[in-house]
Chain A
Amino acid sequence: MDSITTAASVVAAGLAVGLGAIGPGIGQGSAAQGAVEGIARQPEAEGKIRGTLLLSFAFMESLTIYGLVVALVLLFANPFAG
């Protein structure tokens, strides 16, 4: 792998993780805040709130995982490496 490809891969890996984590991070923070407030107001609905939070977190975190996968593929299994 030549040096330009290596440098571009490393920069792209950093951007993939960094930019890909911004949206899910904000979303997860506000979802967790809402869930904790909801549990504090209605403790009898705790199981339902936690269940909904689990489903929404799993969907949101997959966006982070996609960025992570792209970054790790670029770093460890780069298809552009000659």
Chain B
Amino acid sequence: METGSSSETLLNLDSSGESSSTSLDEYVQLQRRIFHTTLIVSVFAVSISAFFFPLQTSISLLVGALSGVLYLRLLARSIGRLGKSSKAVSKIQLVIPVLLLLAVAKLPQLDLIPALLGFLLYKPSLIIQSLLES
């Protein structure tokens, strides 16, 4: 009897672990969808700006978009760690906009406004994903 109940418990644990890993797969897939949408939006915006604006603007937009993707990646990683290896969401991702602005201030090849707009290019993909989720 006891053996039966312990094996049942084991089975339940196994099934809950399976459902947890399936659920985490869902999170990984959401991250992937957000990154793919961000990359598509970034490529679209950079190609449009390369057509209508000088090369310096496009490069600034590209640098900003890449730093936005990196920021989103770090944010997703720190949220993935929440509750497992850390009790709070780390703020390391905020270093990325600081470094971007310092690079814009120090390098004359980069413009401020396009770099900031490029950094915020992850927003449309987030809005699309939250609309799809609801």
Q: Report how many A-B pairs have Cβ atoms within 8 Å.
A: 95
Residue of A43, A46, A61, A77 touching B112 (CB-CB under 8 A): A77
Chain A contacts of B98 at CB under 8 A?
68, 72
**In the bound complex, do residue A46 and residue B94 qualify as a contact, i.e. CB atoms below 8 Å apart?**
no
Chain B interface residue number, banded: 35 or more
**In the bound complex, do residue A61 and residue B94 qualify as a contact, i.e. CB atoms below 8 Å apart?**
yes
Also in contact, A72 and B94, with CB within 8 A (given A46-B27, A58-B126): no
Which 9 A-B residue pairings sit nearest by Cβ, starting from the closest? A47-B26, A47-B23, A76-B105, A47-B27, A51-B30, A72-B101, A44-B19, A50-B27, A46-B23
Residues of A participating in the B interface, judged by any CB pair closer than 8 Å: 28, 32, 35-36, 39-40, 43-48, 50-55, 57-59, 61-62, 64-65, 68-69, 72-73, 76-77
